[in-house]
Amino acid sequence: MCSPHFLGFCHRNMFKSLFGMQIQRAPIATLLGFALLVLAPHPAHAQSPGAGERPLVILEDNDSVSANIQATALQDVLQAFSDATGVEIVVSGSADETVSVQFDHLPADEALREILGERSSISFYASDESDAEGTERLTRAWVLKGIARAHGPVPFGRKARRTPRSAASGGSAAFDQLKRQALMHKDPDRRKRAIEGLIAADSDKAKSALTQALLNDRNAKVRQAALENLLWYDDEAPRQPLIKAALRDSSAEVRRMAIEEGFAELAEDDPAARRVLIQALGDKDPGNRVVVVEALGDLAAFDEEDRNLQRALMRALKDDNEAVRLAAIEPLEDIEMKSALAEAAKNDPSSRVQRAAREALSNLE
């Protein structure tokens, strides 16, 4: 899972879905009604400055960043930062200014804040992978230019994801423009891209607009984008829209996301979320039912006294889809439901399910 830092938010594939392709350096372009500058790293550039020139930005041996920049175009500085650190940068607003700044041995996120100054709000993104010490690597940054930072930094890591906060103060115009596009633009791709920028513009206001899009948009990809953004709020996400998405959305992909990334996590501590997950065993898509069975199995192993979970897993063993029944075998083995496994080993119409049930019983002997 990627993690945000400072005033940002977190989505696994946000930048891929935002542009629909691998990010490349692009000229300033109009997207969502305002200028975006997209900068991708070119590591070879960082190693080969002109003869006798010192690189604008240096990545030190300990992955800290140093810079000595004098009256240099911001766009060139950001490109140098991207080349040196490997961080992709998206800038919303004008980058037509010069920068003078000097610092040594700063973490990458602090270095970027030093470069951009106080009139920028920044969303940071970490990779899904971490190093041997468990430290997540900064990979992307989204910069809102001309918007003052509303809060000081929070720790770079998963704790930040639990603390939704406004991305900016004074950014209501940008947010209102995004909201109009997210809810009313006739092009679903434009609505989807606008939705993906709402939390960066103002996380406090975004929840209502995202809920409207999830409940009312006719395009499944737009609803999925709205749901993915709502899930960033974790326990503070509005529950009823999530229930509707999990149980009644017309798109199997939307239902699966609500089940797998929403209720499967919430159900660890929330009996109501467990009930929704059990209801989702009735999903018409067998792939979704497999996801539900796997989630119920994890919960049953965690809480072996929950009879509702046990009954749900035994019900899954009667599903009309072979893959769903196979998925139920392992969790039933984990909670030692020998009678259910014995019945499947003897009477299931699928030889594969029978064999899996026999192996599970053998493991329990």
Q: What is the CATH classification number for the domain harbouring 300?
A: 1.25.10.10
> Where a domain ends, among 142, 162, 182?
162
Pair 148, 258 in one domain: no
**Is there a domain that residue 251 lies in?**
yes
Does 83 map to a domain? yes
Q: What are phi and psi of 23, to 5 degrees?
A: -70, 130
Give the SS3 label for residue 5: strand
pLDDT tens sequence across 56-74: 788 877 778 999 899 998 8
Q: Can you give the C-alpha Rg of the chain in angstroms?
A: 24
Cα 143 from Cα 292, distance rounded (Å): 38
Q: Which range is least confidently modeled, 19-33, 65-79, 217-231, 259-273?
A: 19-33
Residue 173 maps to a domain: no
Query: CA 13, CA 228: separation in Å to the nearest integer?
Result: 10
| Cα gap 9→225, rounded to integer Å | 14
Q: What is the rounded distance in angstroms from the CA atom of residue 144 to the CA atom of residue 162?
A: 22
> Of 162, 188, 219, which marks where a domain is finished?
162
The answer for residues whose C-beta is within 8 angstroms of residue 12's C-beta and 6 or more apart is 1, 2, 128
Q: Which amino acid is at 289?
A: R
The stretch 121-146 carries a mean pLDDT of: 61
Q: Which of 310, 280, 300 is nearest to 292 (CA)?
A: 280
**Co-location of 157 and 242 in the same domain:** no
Same structural domain for residues 254 and 134? no
Q: How many domains does the chain have?
A: 2
What value does the mean pLDDT take over residues 93-97? 71
CA dist 69 → 1, 84, 174 (Å): 34, 14, 30
The three-class DSSP label of residue 25 is coil
For 34, phi then psi, to 5°, come to -145, 170
- What local confidence, expressed as pLDDT, does residue 288 receive? 94
* Residue 345: its H or E element: helix 338-347
Q: What is the mean pLDDT of residues 283-301?
A: 93
Residue partners of 65: CB distance under 8 A and separation at least 6: 57, 58, 59, 81, 84, 85, 103, 105, 106, 107, 108, 111
What is the band of 233 on the pLDDT scale with cuts at 50, 70, 90? confident
| Inter-CA distances, 182 with 12, 149, 170, 193, 227, Å | 20, 24, 20, 8, 13
In this predicted structure, what is the pLDDT of residue 23?
31
Q: Determine the structural domain holding residue 274 and report its residue range.
A: 238-364
Looking at the fold, whether 348 and 243 belong to one and the same domain comes out as yes
pLDDT at 136: 61
C-alpha dihedral, 226 to 230 to 232 to 234, nearest 10°: -150
HEC secondary structure over 105-147:
EECHHHHHHHHHCCCEEEEEEEEEEECCCCCEEEEEEEEEECC
Q: Higher confidence at residue 233 or residue 164?
A: 233
Report if residue 168 sits inside a domain: no
Angle at 64 between CA 60 and CA 68, to 5 degrees: 75
Q: Give me the residues paired with residue 308 across strands.
A: none
Looking up tokens 């969502």, which residue turns up? 32
Q: Looking at the predicted structure, is the pLDDT value of residue 29 above 50?
A: no
H/E stretch holding 72 reads strand 65-73
